[in-house]
Amino acid sequence: VSDPHSFETFAEIGVILLMFSIGIEFSLRDLLRVKWVAILGGPLGILLSVGLGVSAGRLIGWTLLEGIVVGMVVSVASTMVLARLLLDRGELHTRHGRIMIGITLVEDLAVVVLIVILPRLGALDAGRLLSIAGALGTGIAILVPFFYLAAKVVPRVLTYVARMQSQEVFLLVALAIALGTAALTQAVGLSLALGAFLAGLLISESDYAHETLARLLSLRDAFVALFFVTVGALLNPAAAVENLPLLGVIVGLVMIGKLVIWTGVVVLFRQPLATALLVGVGLTQIGEFSFILIQVARSAGHVGDDIYNATLAASLLTILGNALLVRFVPAWIGRTASWPRDAAAASAEVPGLADHVVVCGFGRVGSQVAEALETFRTPYVAIDADPDIVRNVRRRGVRCVFGDASNEHILDAAGVAGAALVVVAVPQVERAYLAVRHVRSRHPDVPILARAHTFADRDRLTSAGATEVIQPEVEAASTLIRHALRRLDLPRERVLEYLERFRVAMDDALPGAPPGEALPQIADVLLLEAPRLTDQSLRESRIRESFGVTVVALTRSNGDVVLHPPPETILRPRDSVRVFGRPDQIEAFRREATGGGYRSAGAEMA
């Protein structure tokens, strides 16, 4: 690599975005679900790892400081790698999955503290401790007023930006907050990672946390991928090969030492041995945070290039080894198939909600649906991208998530995995399509109701997984027909039968409706030599105006089917046209289509 500094710059951006997202996602509620084993067991495991590093260092000739640094470096697992493995295996909400996530949350917070302390360890004397305390005090004295003011200003800025309804501007402002805060903390002598984490905390309790994280994820993952590319690019294979015993020691500390430590810690908190083993296996890797810590320690002169290169190589080897262990060890334990899951947690991403309704879009349509749900005391979660709507809805005590309902993270925040029904009321068909598709991928069995203005949009939403698609124009026509016929005092039974056939024609375009006395039906008519109909568009042929029938489908001579053809569709000889109308109207259209000429129904009766 000719210019490693460029790679390191990308790596730093990846670290900032990663810590920013962790700050947004950081949740005390998640810790409290496994509070004792995470809050107490997490620091205990870190201390034991440091002790293990010091002990191993004494055996192979490290200094005390090098042993402490290596212990710190191997003590923290990669949250990103762990979360991805658990998600891929569907174990995020198992008992061992929750414990591992809880422990890594504690480790994430510990990394922030270690990044501050590590550069100033040096000689562990009273003066050095006073220097650490002074640095922390200076940083706190500067940052506390800043974050107090930021807590007042940031939500207002995000509200203003959200009202612009521009996803790009929203993302740019969020990035400016993250990078600006990181730069400030670096300016006062603290770390970029600490500033990014605190910036995430600023947003985590606002209405815009889910939307910020949703917009950030793809960019974060790209830069974090570059982070790992940087690790590989900065790794010196020759140096790692020259120090194979050192590499073996660090890999052993991670793969064997941490397995024993975390298994023992989890057992200490009265968890089953199988759970403890699975937790221990899941944490036997090091990743992005270990790279950050070893880089800080190297910059401070605490470790040399040999330990630095061995740590980089160990991170790659342990991540690969951990993936294999997580895949095969549960089968060896023999517990995977019957592993007890927390049904409530597995079914709903939103705590305290299950079998609720998710309403995507809280405009005129969505709010009316929500009002009906409130009338029947049915719990629901609303999603909307208008900050004023979200704020007003929340004031009424209703759960409402700010963000784009077509984004997977926003849908997860609304708990679609545990929903009993999802109503997609967003007017933009592209976002509605993405929302339906993402909901269906997360909950294959949930009923999904959506809205569409055209038949093509209806078919697209249906193909994405919508259970039922409502078309406002069809509903309006049906209502107008019902009211018009009722005003004319026509027989109620025949009116209802007509409306039923009308809906069948509009919804399914299926043939075979039984003929009734003067009631509409669906029939297929083959076009032959019909100069008034063929070789022109539906609009030009004026079929509805001339014959009173509605074309609901078209089958070409080559077998292609066009459902609800648009007005620009060209009719050709040998096309089979499916029409909806009264028997006498269909018969008149059939005569014209087969070259027999057209006479009005009135002329026939005469």
| Distance separating alpha carbons of residues 330 and 540, to the nearest angstrom | 68
| Distance separating alpha carbons of residues 193 and 46, to the nearest angstrom | 20
Same domain, 55 and 96: yes
Residue 509 has pLDDT above 50, yes or no: no
Higher pLDDT, 502 or 285: 285
CATH of the domain at 400: 3.40.50.720
Same domain, 446 and 377: yes
pLDDT band at 345 (very low <50, low <70, confident <90, very high): very low
- Domain total for the chain? 4
Same domain, 162 and 53: yes
Model pLDDT, residue 107? 83
CA angle 506, 512, 514 (to 5 degrees): 100
Model pLDDT, residue 126? 56
Give a yes or no: residue 340 inside a domain: no
Residue 177 has pLDDT above 80, yes or no: yes
- Beta strands 399-402 and 468-470: pairing type? unpaired
Q: What is the mean pLDDT of the chain?
A: 79
Give a yes or no: residue 38 inside a domain: yes
Tell me, rounded to whole angstroms, the distance of Cα 184 from its chain centroid: 31
When pLDDT is averaged across residues 87-95 and rounded to a whole number, the result is 67
Higher pLDDT, 117 or 310: 310
Model pLDDT, residue 349? 43
Residue 334 has pLDDT above 60, yes or no: no
pLDDT-above-70 percentage for the chain? 82
CATH of the domain at 80: 1.20.1530.20
Model pLDDT, residue 597? 54
Model pLDDT, residue 346? 38
Least confident residue range of 175-184, 187-196, 288-297: 187-196
Give a yes or no: residue 573 inside a domain: yes
Same domain, 495 and 367: no
| Adjacent-strand bridge partners of 576 | 526, 555
| Residue type for position 208 | Y
pLDDT band at 513 (very low <50, low <70, confident <90, very high): very low
> Rounded to the nearest 10 degrees, what angle do helices 305-333 and 288-299 cross at?
160
Helix (H) or strand (E) holding 581: strand 576-581
User: Are the CB atoms for 277 and 329 separated by under 8 Å?
Assistant: yes
Same domain, 181 and 191: yes
pLDDT band at 603 (very low <50, low <70, confident <90, very high): very low
When pLDDT is averaged across residues 349-368 and rounded to a whole number, the result is 80
Q: Which residue has the tokens 């160990």?
A: 314
Residue 9 has pLDDT above 80, yes or no: no
| Distance separating alpha carbons of residues 595 and 417, to the nearest angstrom | 58
Same domain, 93 and 113: yes
Residue 2 has pLDDT above 70, yes or no: no
Same domain, 221 and 86: yes
| Distance separating alpha carbons of residues 385 and 427, to the nearest angstrom | 12
Residue 479 belongs to what domain range? 471-507
- Of 333, 366, 393, which residue sits at a domain end? 333
When pLDDT is averaged across residues 327-334 and rounded to a whole number, the result is 72
Higher pLDDT, 440 or 487: 440
CATH of the domain at 540: 3.30.70.1450
Model pLDDT, residue 14? 77
Model pLDDT, residue 129? 60
pLDDT-above-90 percentage for the chain? 15
Tokens matching residue 577: 């046209």
Same domain, 461 and 477: no
When pLDDT is averaged across residues 443-464 and rounded to a whole number, the result is 88
Model pLDDT, residue 132? 62
Least confident residue range of 116-120, 252-256, 480-484, 585-589: 116-120
Range with top average pLDDT, 199-208, 443-452, 579-588: 443-452
When pLDDT is averaged across residues 55-73 and rounded to a whole number, the result is 90
pTM of the predicted structure, to 2 decimals: 0.56
pLDDT band at 256 (very low <50, low <70, confident <90, very high): very high
Same domain, 116 and 161: yes
Give a yes or no: residue 246 inside a domain: yes
Give a yes or no: residue 338 inside a domain: no
Same domain, 89 and 224: yes
| Distance separating alpha carbons of residues 418 and 442, to the nearest angstrom | 9
3-state secondary structure 527-560: CCCCCCCCCEEHHHHCHHHHHCCEEEEEECCCCC
- Of 333, 367, 382, which residue sits at a domain end? 333
Same domain, 459 and 497: no
Higher pLDDT, 255 or 196: 255
Model pLDDT, residue 382? 93
Please write the tens of the pLDDT for every residue from 375-425.
Answer: 888 999 999 988 888 888 888 888 999 888 888 888 988 989 889 999 999
When pLDDT is averaged across residues 424-434 and rounded to a whole number, the result is 90
Same domain, 437 and 521: no
Residue 220 has pLDDT above 80, yes or no: no
Model pLDDT, residue 449? 94
When pLDDT is averaged across residues 197-220 and rounded to a whole number, the result is 79
